[in-house]
Homo-oligomer: A and B are copies of this chain.
Amino acid sequence: MNSLVDDRDVAFLLAEVHDLPALSALPYFADHSRETFELTIDSVRKVARDVCFPAYRPMDAAPPSLEGGAVKVHPEMHRILPRLVDLGLIAATRPYEVGGGQLPSSVFALATLYLMAANLSAYAYLGLTTGAARLIESFGNEALKQRYLEPMYSGRWLGTMALTEPQAGSSLADVATKATPVAGADHHLVTGTKIFISGGDQDLTENIVHLTLARIEGAPPGTKGVSLFAIPKRRPEGEALVDNDCTTSGVFHKIGWRGLPSIALTFGDRRDCHGYLVGAPHQGLRQMFQMMNEARLMVGLNAVATASVAYREALRYAEERPQGRALGDRDPSRPQIAIMGHADVRRMLLRQKAIIEGGLCLLIQASRYQDLAEASPDPDERARSSRLLDLLTPVAKSFPAEWGFEANTLAVQVHGGYGYTSEYLPEAWWRDQKLNTIHEGTTGIQSLDLLGRKVMLDGGEALRLLGAEVDATLGRARDAGVEEVWCRSLEEALGLVAALTAQLGKRGLEGDLEGMLLHSVDYLQLFSIVVVAWQWLEMAAAARRGLARGPLGSAFYEGKLCAAQYWIKTELPRVPALATLCREGEDSYARMASDWF
- A residues contacting B by CB (< 8 A) are 164, 167-171, 173-174, 195-196, 221-223, 252-256, 315, 319, 322-325, 327-328, 330-333, 336, 340, 342-347, 349-350, 353, 405, 409, 412-413, 416-417, 419-423, 427, 430, 434-435, 437-439, 442-444, 447, 513-514, 517-518, 520-521, 555-556, 558-559, 562-563, 565-566, 569-570, 573-574, 577, 580-581, 586, 588-597
Q: Whole-angstrom distance between the alpha carbons of A580 and B405 in the complex?
A: 26
Contact B195–A422 (Cβ < 8 Å): no
Contact B170–A517 (Cβ < 8 Å): no
Contact B562–A592 (Cβ < 8 Å): yes
Most B C-beta atoms less than 10 A away, residue of A315, A435, A442, A520: A442
Q: Whole-angstrom distance between the alpha carbons of A164 and B565 in the complex?
A: 37
Chain B residues whose CB sits within 8 angstroms of the CB of A434 once the complex forms: 409, 412, 420, 430
Contact B330–A222 (Cβ < 8 Å): yes
In the complex, residue of chain B having the shortest beta-carbon distance to the beta carbon of A444:
B344
Contact A566–B594 (Cβ < 8 Å): no
Q: Whole-angstrom distance between the alpha carbons of A349 and B593 in the complex?
A: 11
Q: Which of B170, B223, B556 contacts A596 (CB 8 A)?
A: B556
Closest 4 CB pairs of A and B: A222-B332, A559-B596, A566-B588, A344-B444
Contact B513–A328 (Cβ < 8 Å): yes
Q: Which of B353, B556, B588 contacts A350 (CB 8 A)?
A: B588
Q: Whole-angstrom distance between the alpha carbons of A264 and B169 in the complex?
A: 45
Copies of this chain in the oligomer: 2
- With A559-B597, A596-B562: A442-B422 Cβ-Cβ less than 8 Å: no
Contact A596–B322 (Cβ < 8 Å): no
Q: Which of B254, B559, B596 contacts A558 (CB 8 A)?
A: B596
Q: Whole-angstrom distance between the alpha carbons of A577 and B427 in the complex?
A: 31
A361–chain B nearest beta-carbon distance, Å: 16
Chain B residues whose CB sits within 8 angstroms of the CB of A315 once the complex forms: 597
- With A323-B170, A330-B222, A333-B221: A594-B438 Cβ-Cβ less than 8 Å: no
Q: Whole-angstrom distance between the alpha carbons of A442 and B350 in the complex?
A: 18
Q: Whole-angstrom distance between the alpha carbons of A421 and B250 in the complex?
A: 13
Contact B171–A324 (Cβ < 8 Å): yes
Chain B residues whose CB sits within 8 angstroms of the CB of A520 once the complex forms: 343-344
In the complex, residue of chain B having the shortest beta-carbon distance to the beta carbon of A220:
B332
**Chain A to chain B contacts (Cβ below 8 Å), 29 pairs:** A167-B322, A171-B323, A171-B336, A173-B324, A173-B330, A173-B332, A327-B513, A343-B514, A343-B518, A344-B444, A344-B520, A345-B444, A346-B592, A347-B589, A349-B592, A350-B589, A350-B592, A350-B597, A353-B597, A419-B438, A420-B435, A420-B438, A555-B595, A558-B596, A562-B596, A565-B588, A569-B581, A569-B588, A570-B581
Q: Which of B254, B423, B570, B573 contacts A253 (CB 8 A)?
A: B423
Most B C-beta atoms less than 10 A away, residue of A252, A343, A514, A589: A589
Contact B412–A344 (Cβ < 8 Å): no
- With A322-B167, A409-B405, A595-B555: A174-B221 Cβ-Cβ less than 8 Å: no
